[in-house]
Amino acid sequence: MAKISRRMRALYEKVDSEQTYQPLEAVALLKDTATAKFTESAEAHIRLGIDPKYTDQQLRTTVALPKGTGQDVRVAVIARGEKVNEASEAGANMAGSEELIEEISKGMMDFDVLVATPDMMPKVAKLGRVLGPRGLMPSPKGGTVTFDLAQAIAAFKAGKLEFRADRTGIVHVMFGKVSFSPEDLLENLKALQETIDRNRPSGAKGRFWRTVSISATMGPSISVDVQALRDLKLSEVISQST
């Protein structure tokens, strides 16, 4: 068994593993358990009552975090002709056509989001083995296959994230930085919850929400009261931050 560091032992003592915390209390505790020497991310791990091996129980969508991600998001664009220049002028970190596809196929991954125009998708398809496992393959559902490059680039840089449920039905999403206020983190977490509810797969039967846990990157897991989070009014969250 791996040895638990003194730092982690101290953090585990702050969190009652048998307790389910109220949403605001949970994000405040998350901040209190972020003691690493770098600015940690706030992560949500949500277990849903779905079996993604069935197509009508898969979840893949995007969320626009109202308080942003706290990260400098690098956007790459695959397009052709004038669309390449349009992407660069709109703030893409890199833009190109076949030459960019070739670089990616050789292992270049200096980006967080890859956007492609629909006419380039037949060529991008060959990158499936490289991009798929990393969750970077462009898709219309994720808003990363579009001719409206300026809008897509602006949205992803402002805090839009694409996410999906993994093969076990768990959603893993970074919803901010521990440097955010508890109210801002809660507003982002609430936006994530509402997005998942709006995109509930048609084949999901029975209890959809199973568990919600949050943590700092290097911190312990904190269980959140699912029903309290779903019942929370966004206006209440915003009023708490003003």
- The CA-based diameter of the chain, rounded to the nearest angstrom, is 58
Regarding whether 216 and 148 lie in a shared domain, the answer is no
pLDDT, one tens digit per residue, over 178-231 is 999 999 999 999 999 999 999 999 999 999 999 999 999 999 999 999 999 999
Per DSSP, 165 falls in state: B
**Same domain, residue pair 26 and 143:** no
2 assigned to some structural domain: no
Q: Same structural domain for residues 223 and 186?
A: yes
* Beta strands, E only, the chain: 41-48, 60-64, 75-78, 94-96, 113-116, 160-164, 170-177, 209-216, 222-224
**CATH code of the domain containing 152:** 3.40.50.790
Whether residue 80 is contained in a domain is answered as yes
Quote the number of domains for the chain.
2
Whether 53 and 81 share a structural domain:
no
In-domain check, residue 176: yes
Among 108, 139, 158, which residue terminates a domain? 158
Residues 54 and 96 in one domain: no
Mean pLDDT of the chain: 92
CATH of the domain at 57: 3.30.190.20
Residue 116, number of CB atoms within 10 A of its CB: 26
* 33: region left, alpha or beta (phi > 0 left; psi from -120 to 50 alpha): alpha
Q: Is residue 116 part of a domain?
A: yes
pLDDT of amino acid 238: 64
CA distances from 221 to 8, 18, 25, 29, 194 (A): 11, 11, 14, 10, 22
pLDDT one digit per residue (tens) for the chain, 242 residues: 566 777 778 887 888 889 999 999 999 999 999 988 999 999 999 999 999 999 999 998 999 999 999 988 999 999 999 999 999 999 999 999 999 999 999 999 999 999 999 999 999 999 999 998 888 999 998 899 999 999 999 999 988 988 999 999 999 999 999 999 999 999 999 999 999 999 999 999 999 999 999 999 999 999 999 999 999 987 766 665 55
**63 vs 29: CA distance, rounded Å:** 24
136, 158, 180: which is the final residue of a domain? Answer: 158
User: Which pLDDT tens digit goes with each residue over 88-104?
Assistant: 999 999 999 999 999 99
Are 192 and 235 found together in one domain?
Answer: yes
Residue-number span of the structural domain to which 36 is assigned: 18-69+160-240
Does residue 22 belong to any structural domain of this protein?
yes
Shared domain for 94 and 210, answered yes or no, is: no
Same domain flag for 151 and 167:
no
**29 within some domain:** yes
**Which of the listed residues 142, 158, 174 is the one where a domain comes to its end?**
158
What's the rounded Cα separation, in Å, for the pair 194 and 191?
5
115 lies in a domain?
yes
